[in-house]
């Protein structure tokens, strides 16, 4: 059955907080230590103080939030008896808050709180998705949770919160947006609605990512990247993703490569595989050719158009100073080969794999990992 689920209500400036928090008396804020200690959490607490809202701040979120942190957060959330839960940060803070709210309600510990996502990076699209990724350090694994009940009730997209994001993180999160949009566009579950969101996100990334990367004070470019991230999130929340994310989940889990960067490293190689560049062109090449048309990259043939998109994507990765191979990311061959079979199995079993347009065999996935490790020419 085809469908397109739309939630949450999206606000585009700080004034939206007053409407969101109307009638709330107790709010629980989930964020990271930097946002707390630097005073940036005042973006939320100042309006709360003015509105007479009691709040508690849980600032123990780290990249790739783990099971222990989520469990501790649930305890604090429950003790405080919060009515509203606000996540301030990147994908890690939002994912952790999703898991806390969802699991606390599912276990009957606390009624589901009104949930508000306030992203401070333009990358994950987590503010509009029903996914959360929680890690288990002991098993070097990341586990996706999936439920529409995890979707925020409201999202606030204010690029002012991204102004101090360093260029390297702007690059990593921006290429994550592009990966979300491209994978959603070629997904087996893509439809007219997801295509519209994905195409617009791709156009916005093409026009604004390098501008935001080179000039962090370009607030128009940053706001457009915030919108692109949200649109790409809408697209993949409905269409699903593909093996780029399946591979990135296990690669990042084993070698502590930031998620967006892992996606960027893999993206050109996965696109090449999906299009059949090394053997026989697949129907997915037509989808990449459509991307070429909307980005003014169209060639003389469908084949050339698809290749133009893949090559341009790899050039963008290089221009953003993201490694163009796994080896370049600092992973030794010995360490890589030692877990290769484990990563292949994990990627095959990942929840993102079924919606990939070309279903890989274990041998093909192994070869794809090796191509990305060595940086073979596409």
Check residue 1 and give its pLDDT: 63
Check residue 110 and give its pLDDT: 85
Check residue 66 and give its pLDDT: 87
Q: Say what the pTM is.
A: 0.91
Buried residues in 5-29 as b, exposed as e (16+ CB within 10 A): eebbebbeebebbeebbeebeebbb
Instruction: Indicate whether 98 and 189 sit together in one domain.
Output: no
Rounded Cα gap, residues 1 and 23, in angstroms: 38
Owning domain of residue 158 = 9-162
Rounded Cα gap, residues 16 and 153, in angstroms: 13
Rounded Cα gap, residues 243 and 340, in angstroms: 15
> Does residue 35 sit within a domain?
yes
Which of 142, 149, 163, 89 is CA-nearest to residue 115?
149
Q: What is the CA radius of gyration of the chain?
A: 20
Instruction: Indicate whether 29 and 43 sit together in one domain.
Output: yes
Check residue 131 and give its pLDDT: 83
Check residue 307 and give its pLDDT: 93
DSSP state of 130: S
> Does residue 48 sit within a domain?
yes
Instruction: Indicate whether 131 and 43 sit together in one domain.
Output: yes
Sheet with 54-61: list strands edge to edge: 9-11, 154-156, 114-119, 84-89, 26-32, 54-61
> Does residue 89 sit within a domain?
yes
What's the domain count of the chain? 2
With a CB cutoff of 8 Å and minimum separation 6, the contacts of 119 are 89, 90, 91, 94, 126, 127, 155, 157, 161, 226, 229
Instruction: Indicate whether 213 and 294 sit together in one domain.
Output: yes
**pLDDT string in tens for the chain (378-residue length):** 677 777 889 998 888 899 999 999 999 999 999 999 999 999 999 999 999 999 999 999 988 888 999 999 999 999 999 999 999 999 899 999 999 999 999 988 888 889 999 999 999 899 999 988 888 777 767 677 889 999 999 999 999 999 989 999 999 999 999 999 999 999 999 999 999 999 999 999 999 999 999 999 999 999 999 999 999 999 999 999 999 999 999 999 899 999 999 999 999 999 999 999 888 999 999 999 999 998 888 888 888 999 999 999 999 999 999 999 999 999 999 999 999 999 999 999 998 999 999 999 999 999 999 999 999 887
Instruction: Indicate whether 26 and 57 sit together in one domain.
Output: yes
| Two tokens, residue 308 | 């133009």
Cα dihedral 66/70/72/77 (nearest 10)? 160
| Two tokens, residue 279 | 């053997």
With both helix axes pointing from N to C terminus, report the angle between 302-319 and 192-214 in degrees, rounded to the nearest 10.
40
> Does residue 240 sit within a domain?
yes
Instruction: Indicate whether 196 and 103 sit together in one domain.
Output: no
Q: Domain containing 62 — which CATH number? A: 3.40.50.1970
Residue at token pair 């947006």: 177
Q: Beta strand pairing status for 131-136 and 141-146?
A: antiparallel
Which of 96, 86, 94, 103 is CA-nearest to residue 16?
86
Instruction: Indicate whether 113 and 243 sit together in one domain.
Output: no
């Amino acid at each position: 059955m085809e469908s397109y689920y739309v939630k949450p209500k999206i606000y585009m400036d700080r004034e939206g907080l007053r409407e969101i928090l109307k009638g709330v008396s107790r709010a629980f804020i989930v964020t990271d230590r930097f946002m707390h200690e630097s005073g940036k959490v005042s973006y939320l607490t100042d309006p709360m103080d003015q509105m007479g809202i009691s709040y508690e701040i849980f600032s123990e979120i780290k990249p790739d939030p783990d099971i222990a942190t989520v469990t501790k957060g649930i305890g604090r959330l429950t003790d405080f008896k919060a009515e509203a839960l606000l996540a301030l940060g990147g994908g890690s803070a939002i994912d952790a808050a999703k898991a806390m709210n969802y699991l606390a309600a599912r276990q009957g510990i606390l009624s589901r709180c009104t949930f508000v996502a306030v992203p401070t990076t333009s990358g994950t699209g987590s503010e509009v998705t029903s996914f959360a990724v929680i890690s288990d350090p002991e098993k070097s694994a990341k586990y996706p949770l999936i439920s529409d009940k995890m979707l925020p009730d409201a999202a606030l997209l204010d690029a002012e919160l991204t102004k101090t994001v360093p260029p390297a993180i702007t690059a990593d999160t921006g290429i994550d947006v592009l990966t979300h949009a491209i994978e959603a566009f070629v997904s087996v579950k893509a439809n007219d609605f997801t295509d519209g969101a994905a195409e617009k996100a791709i156009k916005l990334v093409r026009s604004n990512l390098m501008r935001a990367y080179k000039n962090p004070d370009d607030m128009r470019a940053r706001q457009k990247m915030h919108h692109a991230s949200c649109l790409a999130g809408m697209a993949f929340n409905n269409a699903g993703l593909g093996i780029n994310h399946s591979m990135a989940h296990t690669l990042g889990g084993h070698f502590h490569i930031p998620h967006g960067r892992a996606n960027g490293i893999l993206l050109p190689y996965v696109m090449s595989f999906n299009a059949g560049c090394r053997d026989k062109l697949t129907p997915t090449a037509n989808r990449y050719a459509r991307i070429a048309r909307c980005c003014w990259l169209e060639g003389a043939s469908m084949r050339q158009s698809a290749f133009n998109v893949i090559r341009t994507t790899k050039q963008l990765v290089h221009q953003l100073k993201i490694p163009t191979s796994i080896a370049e990311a600092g992973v030794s061959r010995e360490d890589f080969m030692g877990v290769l079979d484990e990563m292949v199995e994990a990627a095959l079993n990942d929840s993102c794999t079924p919606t990939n347009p070309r279903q890989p065999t274990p041998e093909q996935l192994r070869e794809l990992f090796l191509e990305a490790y060595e940086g073979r020419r596409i």
